[in-house]
Amino acid sequence: MIKLNENKEVVQGLRDAMKANGGYCPCRREHTPDTKCMCKEFRDQIADPEFEGYCHCMLYYKTKD
């Protein structure tokens, strides 16, 4: 299961940053399809059924299935 960070201030800050930069991860300098939220790094991580944790910017959290 994937859920938003429980800290609403973190979520709002990240959403504001992504809105200002076209939907790209605010933690990445490059604006490529791989850094558009939900970024490729996290999509690859969530494909692993053993992965549990936050995405790079800590917007999303994945629990083990």
| Averages of pLDDT over each 10 residues, the chain, 65 residues | 97 96 92 96 95 96 87
Reported pTM: 0.88
For residue 39, what pLDDT is reported? 95
For residue 64, what pLDDT is reported? 84
Contact criterion met (CB below 8 Å) for 32 and 40: no
Give the pair of three-digit tokens for residue 30.
């490059």
CA distances from 49 to 16, 22, 46, 54, 63 (A): 30, 30, 7, 14, 9
Contact criterion met (CB below 8 Å) for 54 and 39: no
